[in-house]
A and B are shown apart, each in its own frame.
Chain A
């Protein structure tokens, strides 16, 4: 009995820890605005007057593989919530069949000593119609992540980070919310629902605001970047990651293109 109480105590502490700890960004194809870059003794502020941007597009060099179909029969609520056949979002392309969505593009290296305020506005992920919305998104280290269950069925949200702490929380009631904060940068942290095995999502957790997620048009923009030389990475859940080096002058805008082959990533300027 004492052991059982101790285990319940451990569970309680785990839940409390995870409630205090996670974070997110929207599924925008434009990077978040630097949130009032502030100077600190150990860092440098971004001068928006001289800042430029990196924009571009992510394409698929070949025919997009067919996305896996999803059978939701195991949960009648999920069947009821989805009137049309459901598919995974692994390869989401635009009407041209080339522009690739759900690619996380971010500045991987080159920001040096710049520091940024942590947003207080939470990033959000919703469990709706037995899918995660958004499927791929970015957020900041220390930013709260609001996790919502909009479904009239129960979900567990299970994050499987490597650098941050793993958590697994149940949300059995429609409308339940919780928040979590990631305390270390990590690209990417996968989410899964162990109840509904088809549900998966990915979040990139960064210490800066220079990230974006492509939509169906494959476009992205990393705005308000200070002059410098940067390594920009594009990450896709199946096709892997590829990087490019970009040198940006004052108020300069550079365009780059990432091209993935269905069998594996390649990068071209």
Chain B
């Protein structure tokens, strides 16, 4: 249980990290500390607080929070290796650590090479993957997951087709959300956030009356929002109609719908406020939360399959496996 709590702490810190990172971009502060891994020649951790002025506060703060999250990720992996019997959970933790290290290097490279859009977009994309991995570890170490959501309708006999439908819908929704985030990151790091300056219309019409690459990527993000919103509503409707007795699916589905509504509103406000830094940044954070909520929903739809696969393993494989999918540590 302590391991689960610690992984939740890491998830919380990662939310703060994503907010800090988005504030850097929203304030155009990415190059306010021109060197890396040092800060104006100082060791990052000894850089005097009196110098954390103006945009440096965002960039240097982001680096410090990222370092903290990195340390927490190391602790998590060590803890998993000591206390977690399921090897695959341990490796997810290790992958998260590798992701956050790679993320730090990408962050440094984007500073040293003056924020090339490809590197900055990759930095944003990998941040979401790291966040997903930390959420996954928190989910897999949770009592509900380990106990198999026994108190809900999960154990009730159900058509295999229904479960497969739920899994397909939830998985597709998660993939769509991540793709939409990548389009959003591309838009953000190519300076296309206001390429279409009006909302809900586009240059006064339903589609832009002229095009360039920035308008195209901005348009793609708006269309993507529509597609993702439909996918989320469809998944939620499916869960409501086919699995309304499974609280572990209904709750994230409802949260997903609510977060998606907030996210669309924030997106609109970002344009209408001419990219207010805080609205823009909260839009990024909310997008990450939409993704991970959908991920939790998706993983829960796959849980039963995972358990069945574990049970179908030949005996010699089971002997090598420390614990099946849902065994409490």
Binding site for B on A (CB under 8 A): 3-4, 7-8, 10-11, 14-15, 74-78, 153-154, 156, 158, 166, 168-170, 172, 194-197
Q: Which residues from chain A contact B38 at a C-beta distance below 8 Å?
A: 11
A10 to B38 Cα, complex, angstroms = 13
Partner of B53, one of A14, A75, A166: A75
Partner of B34, one of A10, A74, A156: A156
Asked if A172 meets B40 with Cβ closer than 8 Å, knowing A11-B35, A194-B32, the reply is yes
Measured CB to CB, the closest approach of chain A to B98, in angstroms, equals 13
| 28 sample A-B contacts, Cβ–Cβ < 8 Å, listed by A number | A4-B37, A7-B36, A7-B108, A10-B112, A11-B36, A11-B112, A75-B53, A77-B53, A153-B53, A154-B53, A154-B56, A156-B31, A158-B31, A158-B34, A170-B33, A170-B35, A170-B40, A172-B40, A172-B41, A172-B51, A194-B29, A194-B32, A194-B34, A194-B55, A195-B53, A195-B54, A196-B55, A197-B27
Asked if A8 meets B33 with Cβ closer than 8 Å, knowing A74-B55, A75-B54, A77-B53, the reply is no
Check B278 for interface membership: any CB of A closer than 8 A.
Answer: no
4 new A-B contacts at CB < 8 Å, known A7-B112, A77-B53, A154-B51: A3-B105, A154-B53, A168-B34, A195-B32
B37 touches A197 (CB 8 A): no
B54 touches A196 (CB 8 A): yes
A139 to B41 Cα, complex, angstroms = 30
Asked if A169 meets B34 with Cβ closer than 8 Å, knowing A195-B55, A197-B55, the reply is yes
Q: Which residues from chain B contact A14 at a C-beta distance below 8 Å?
A: 112
B108 touches A168 (CB 8 A): no
Contact bitstring B39-71, A, C-beta under 8 A = 1, else 0: 011000000000101111100000000000000
Q: Which residues from chain A contact B53 at a C-beta distance below 8 Å?
A: 74-77, 153-154, 195
Q: Which residues from chain A contact B57 at a C-beta distance below 8 Å?
A: 74
Minimum CB distance partner of B51 in chain A:
A154
B28 touches A170 (CB 8 A): no
Chain B interface residue bracket vs A:
20 to 34
A204 to B89 Cα, complex, angstroms = 59
A156 touches B37 (CB 8 A): no
Binding site for A on B (CB under 8 A): 27-38, 40-41, 51, 53-57, 105, 108-109, 112, 114
A194 to B109 Cα, complex, angstroms = 17
B114 touches A168 (CB 8 A): yes
A80 to B308 Cα, complex, angstroms = 69
A79 to B105 Cα, complex, angstroms = 36
Q: Which residues from chain B contact A153 at a C-beta distance below 8 Å?
A: 53
Minimum CB distance partner of B57 in chain A:
A74
A14 to B109 Cα, complex, angstroms = 12
Measured CB to CB, the closest approach of chain B to A71, in angstroms, equals 11
Measured CB to CB, the closest approach of chain A to B311, in angstroms, equals 43
A156 to B39 Cα, complex, angstroms = 11
B114 touches A166 (CB 8 A): yes
A75 to B27 Cα, complex, angstroms = 14
Q: Which residues from chain B contact A194 at a C-beta distance below 8 Å?
A: 28-32, 34, 55
A168 to B113 Cα, complex, angstroms = 10
Q: Which residues from chain A contact B41 at a C-beta distance below 8 Å?
A: 170, 172
Q: Which residues from chain B contact A8 at a C-beta distance below 8 Å?
A: 37
Q: Which residues from chain A contact B33 at a C-beta distance below 8 Å?
A: 156, 170
A4 to B104 Cα, complex, angstroms = 11
Q: Which residues from chain A contact B114 at a C-beta distance below 8 Å?
A: 166, 168
A59 to B105 Cα, complex, angstroms = 51
B32 touches A156 (CB 8 A): yes
Q: Which residues from chain A contact B36 at a C-beta distance below 8 Å?
A: 7, 11
Q: Which residues from chain B contact A15 at a C-beta distance below 8 Å?
A: 35
7 shortest interchain CB distances as A-B pairs: A74-B54, A194-B32, A172-B40, A168-B34, A194-B31, A75-B53, A170-B40
A78 to B33 Cα, complex, angstroms = 18
Minimum CB distance partner of B39 in chain A:
A170
B40 touches A154 (CB 8 A): yes
Measured CB to CB, the closest approach of chain A to B16, in angstroms, equals 21
A153 to B53 Cα, complex, angstroms = 9
A156 to B60 Cα, complex, angstroms = 14
Q: Which residues from chain A contact B32 at a C-beta distance below 8 Å?
A: 156, 194-195
A154 to B33 Cα, complex, angstroms = 10
Minimum CB distance partner of B36 in chain A:
A11
Measured CB to CB, the closest approach of chain A to B34, in angstroms, equals 4
Minimum CB distance partner of B108 in chain A:
A7
Measured CB to CB, the closest approach of chain A to B110, in angstroms, equals 12
A75 to B50 Cα, complex, angstroms = 10
Measured CB to CB, the closest approach of chain A to B106, in angstroms, equals 11
Measured CB to CB, the closest approach of chain B to A4, in angstroms, equals 7
Measured CB to CB, the closest approach of chain B to A201, in angstroms, equals 16
Measured CB to CB, the closest approach of chain A to B259, in angstroms, equals 31
Q: Which residues from chain A contact B40 at a C-beta distance below 8 Å?
A: 154, 170, 172
